Amino acid sequence: MLILYTCALVLVLVLGAPWWLFRMATSGKYREGLTERLGFVPQRIRHALNKKNLVWVHAVSVGEVLAAGRLIEELELRLSGVMDSPAQTSWRLMISTTTRTGQALARQRFGAERVFYFPLDFGWAVRAWLRALRPRMLVLVETEFWPRLLHECRRAAIPVAVVNARISDRSWPRYRRFVWIWQPLLRNLALVQAQSELDAERLRALGGMHVQVGGNLKYDVRVLRPAPVAALLQEHLPPATPVLVCGSTLAGEEELLLDARPPDVVTVLAPRHPERFGEVAELLRRRGERWVRRSEWTEAPAAIEPGFVFLLDSIGELASLYSLACAAFVGGSLVPAGGHNPLEAAQFGVPVVTGSSYENFRGIVEKLLEHDAIRIVQPGELKAALAKMLACEAESQAMGARAREVFESEAGATERAVQALFELIAARSAQSGVQP
């Protein structure tokens, strides 16, 4: 099975090579971290490995890094907190990501010396990282099931745990079609904490043996240290000016939002992918909008007048800016992309509008819908929905309050995941003679 899988992976890479090379040459998107993806362990990582018991955590992109951030901090603190003998080695969590945006955020939050790019799923690349890290455990965030990685961990007797696990509606038919591939791999997982009972049922059907419902880590993502740009922007907003924050937008959505917004609001426009910042800036220029670019504006802050568009061309600051909003739109939902996380706005009691493509966050959106705490709209309904929200009427304010109540009531997944992981690490460490 692994031979066939490897051959298929090689074939995909060979056939896609012209496109990959073109993207590397024109955008640099896939050039960064290429050596790490191929199994080269840089010196900055090797320096961090000395006398450490390691847990390797893999978080694909920005959403997973944000979801796992508190878990990483609390698990490392708990592991290190019980080490009372100076003769014993300490514990450290190392973090890998797949995307460039996830890498940037993880390095910013945890330091470059403990963050690296996830290797391609070839035996030599995976084994190189496993030999260098020698992790006591691998923790996968959400559903990053790579066959070669799981196989090599099993060969090396490295337990694999999955937190915040989910099987989306879109991917479920594909998993079910190839259940014969997944069963021998997933039955060896040491722990699976699913987001919901439906996810747990699907994971058990695919062969998972140690599956439990842990809840969604995203309900525990809170802005504890607001980005400085939020306070700076608030200082330069005219009093009582409504703010609309449009987060994680994709191609085709920005123009719809610009056409639908009321003329007297300040609009924060935050494209999902950094490589599109220039494209959206060009759109604003072409339309003759009054706008500023965050990276330039912060160098010489000036008043932001009603009708202005604030282009957020940065990573990791969107959640803080939701705190300024009278209303929020969550992108990736007016186009068929599966949507993004509405909880980033809900934590501030901000009423949220999103499109009908939200399958990647179905559990969260349906929970908000149960409490009348979000609005789902089609493109033609967007203008009226935003106008009503931004009027800051009692109805929209109450909807935002209900969203915050849902956010608070569903918290606790991080604590459950930390406890389960700690117990598993303790049990495995006791077997090998290492005291956690």
- Structural domains in the chain, CATH included, are 28-215+412-432 (3.40.50.11720), 228-409 (3.40.50.2000)
Report the pLDDT value the prediction gives residue 12, as an integer from 0 to 100.
77
- The series of mean pLDDT values per 10 residues for the chain, 436 residues long, is 77 74 68 90 89 90 94 93 55 94 94 95 95 96 92 96 93 91 93 96 95 96 89 94 96 97 96 94 97 96 96 94 96 95 96 95 94 97 94 89 96 96 89 62
Report the pLDDT value the prediction gives residue 21, as an integer from 0 to 100.
72
Report the pLDDT value the prediction gives residue 355, as an integer from 0 to 100.
97
Sign of the Cα pseudo-torsion (200, 150, 41, 86, in order): positive
In the set 32, 36, 64, 254, the catalytic residue is 64
- Please state the pTM of the whole predicted model: 0.88
Secondary structure string (H, E, C) spanning the chain: CHHHHHHHHHHHHHHHHHHHHHHHHHHCCCCCCHHHHCCCCCHHHHHCCCCEEEEEEECCCHHHHHHHHHHHHHHHHHHHHCCCCCCCCEEEEEEEECCHHHHHHHHHHHCHHHEEECCCCCHHHHHHHHHHHCCCEEEEECCCCCHHHHHHHHHCCCCEEEEEECCCCCCHHHHHHCHHHHHHHHCCCCEEEECCHHHHHHHHHCCCCCEEECCCHHHHCCCCCCCHHHHHHHHCCCCCCCEEEEEEECCCHHHHHHHHCCCCCEEEEEECCHHHHHHHHHHHHHHCCCEEEHHHHCCCCCCCCCCCEEECCCCCCHHHHHHHCCEEEECCCCCCCCCCCCHHHHCCCCCEEECCCCHHHHHHHHHHHHCCCCEECCHHHHHHHHHHHHCCCHHHHHHHHHHHHHHHHCCCHHHHHHHHHHHHHHHHHHHHCCCC
> What does the block give as tokens for 29?
């998107």
How far is 34 from 13, CA to CA, in rounded Å? 14
Known catalytic residue at 64: yes
Report the pLDDT value the prediction gives residue 99, as an integer from 0 to 100.
93
